[in-house]
Amino acid sequence: MKIDFKGITAEEISFKLNRVKLNPEDKLDIKPQFSRQVRKVNGNDKLNFVALSVKIESTEQDPKPFNVLVSLVGVFEVEELNGAADERKFVIEATKLVYPYLRAAVTNLTASAYIAPLNLPVISGPIFPEDRDQFAFTTGEGLN
């Protein structure tokens, strides 16, 4: 399988400050929510889009000092996908390629809003739970 990373673009970037009163002794739990979409281009089976999004949203039950939504799309040309296992491996690899850009976008967005920059964690393995079994199988990590 050959993956050619063609580029990345922002689909949506937004920041909203919330006037939330937080007690200094309370620990702030940001809880970012990640999502991913994979799309193929009609008429070109080799061209694939992998969209990664992160959302941080304040609710009445779980107030947060800001709302953030960042959605980035990576464009990939993929050759020699042979079956579901190769497609799964591609999705995991593409996610690993796009995630650092998502981290940087969130850090830059929050810094540009003149608040303490939010740094999402560095993740060496899969971000999504559904990828973890496949990741352990393909790399041997997590296997006893």
Mean pLDDT of 7-11: 97
Please name the amino acid found at residue 102.
L
Strand order in the sheet with 33-41: 2-17, 66-79, 44-56, 33-41
CB 122 within 8 A of CB 107: no
Task: Say how many CA atoms lie within 13 Å of 79 toward its Cβ.
Answer: 2
Q: Are 130 and 42 in contact (CB under 8 A)?
A: no
> pLDDT: is 134 or 14 the higher one?
14
Q: What is the pTM of this model?
A: 0.85
Whether the pLDDT of residue 138 is over 50: the answer is: no
| Lowest-confidence segment of 13-27, 85-99, 128-142 by average pLDDT | 128-142
Q: What is the pLDDT of residues 72-101, one digit of tens each?
A: 999 999 987 788 888 888 999 999 999 999
Q: What is the pLDDT of residue 144?
A: 30
What is the distance between the alpha carbons of residues 104 and 108, in angstroms, rounded to a whole number?
6
Domain 2-139 class, CATH top level: alpha beta
Answer yes or no: is pLDDT of 139 > 80.
Answer: no
Residue 41 has pLDDT above 50, yes or no: yes
More confident residue, 4 or 29: 4
Taking the CA atoms of the chain, what radius of gyration do you get in angstroms?
Answer: 18
Residue 109: what pLDDT? 97
DSSP letter string over 67-105? EEEEEEEEEEEEE---SHHHHHHHHHHHHHHHHHHHHHH
**Mean pLDDT value of segment 33-57:** 93
Instruction: Give the per-residue pLDDT at 62.
Output: 86
